[in-house]
Amino acid sequence: MVNGLYPAHIPAMNIDYLLYEGKATSFLNNRISKYVIGICAGCSIFQPIELRLAILVRLALLGKIGMPELPEVETIINDLNKNIPGLRIRDIWSDIGRFDVEKLKLKIVGNKIEKIKRFGKNILFFLTGGKIMLVHQKMTGHLMYGKWKIEKTSDGQEKISSLLKGPFQEKVNNYIHLIFYLNNGRQIALSDLRKFAKVEVFDVRSAGEIKEIKNLGPDALTVEFSDFQKNIAGEKGSVKQVLMNQKFIAGIGNIYSDEILWKAGIHPERKANFLNIIALKKIFKAMKNILKKAVKKRGTSISDFRDAAGKKGMYGNHLFVYGRKGKKCLKCASAIKRLKIGGRGSCFCPVCQK
């Protein structure tokens, strides 16, 4: 029996090498659920993983689920910062046990939200009383600002529905599992189909200890070329993997690494430490260009991502390679190929990218 272990190797998990199938306590909700053990394709380590998580990872590998990256999180932050600063948290509701609502309430109810900032793909709410609340939306989570009501159904369940019309009514926005009630009568809600989002409160004094933050490299949107070069150039991995590693550069995931490398004309399998300065400059320029445009278009909504008003991002219409396997390259008309690099699917043009 495997205990509810958090699978540290999720992104590279390869369930082709299935060694065990059984039941164990879920990390997510303390219920007994199906577990499998496979070999992590990235590091060849035996890894227990919850079956539904393994399926989800597979969907992500196939490009069917796009996890929020820098442009999507930046969109949410910008939206929230228009309305939220200065408002006070009046109450909190959640049906996810691991959020421990009672503890959360003790820590932050009554506190005012001063500002909201992005660190890589993390959202940090800076609150009065010296508190910081970290939210990582993970695969399918997204924060919205609106108005919801909770009703008890005849079978004792709680039913949550939006009181506002429009995009809030869309199904993807109706997996509400966490609500922060604000003192202006509005709420911040987390819609999260898969329930993987992370919410945690820290003291400002220990902010330097937040592991999600302290291990982050410089932000992809603001990093200068010298730091970018310093962090990327010495790494032995493929450039695709290095770009996605938050330790080196923060904010880039599967979607934008594919797009950046296509724009730069660099093959995703090239080793980062063999890239010359011309190649590095091309990647750097493409990175700034693609990310800025994606922020302007309010992110990519491949699957679940929506902005704080529940609306889709429009960058999905501007993708060159991601999710386009078999389709024509928009520059040279060759068929886009897909490769597995470190367990992640990578789409590229075999002609334009060398």
Annotated active-site residue 350? The verdict is: no
d(CA 337, CA 346): 8
d(CA 261, CA 101): 42
Residue 349 contacts Zn ion per CB under 5 A? yes
Q: Nearest distance from residue 320's CB to Zn ion, in Å?
A: 9
d(CA 260, CA 242): 13
Residue 40 contacts Zn ion per CB under 5 A? no
Nearer to Zn ion, 239 or 347 (CB): 347
Could you give the count of Cα atoms lying within 13 Å of 246 in the half-sphere of its Cβ?
Answer: 15
Query: How many residues at the interface with Zn ion, by CB under 5 A?
Result: 7
**Catalytic residue among 48, 72, 118, 121, which?**
121
Annotated active-site residue 102? The verdict is: no
Of 300, 240, 318, 317, nearest to 71 by C-alpha is: 300
Annotated active-site residue 68? The verdict is: yes
Nearer to Zn ion, 144 or 352 (CB): 352
Are the CB atoms for 254 and 59 separated by under 8 Å? Answer: no
**Catalytic residue among 7, 50, 69, 235, which?**
69
Among 51, 96, 221, 351, binds Zn ion (CB under 5 A): 351
Q: Find the binding residues for Zn ion in span 284-343 (CB under 5 A).
A: 329, 331-332, 334
Nearer to Zn ion, 34 or 270 (CB): 270
Annotated active-site residue 121? The verdict is: yes
Nearer to Zn ion, 139 or 347 (CB): 347
Q: CA distances (Å), 334 to each of 200, 325, 329, in order?
A: 46, 11, 5
**158, burial (CB in 10 Å: exposed 0-12, middle 13-18, buried 19+):** exposed
Contact stretch for Zn ion (CB under 5 A) within 138-146, 252-260, 274-282, 346-354: 346-354
Map tokens 């005012």 to a residue: 112
Which chain residues interact with Zn ion by CB under 5 A? 329, 331-332, 334, 349, 351-352
Please identify every residue annotated as catalytic. 68-69, 121, 344
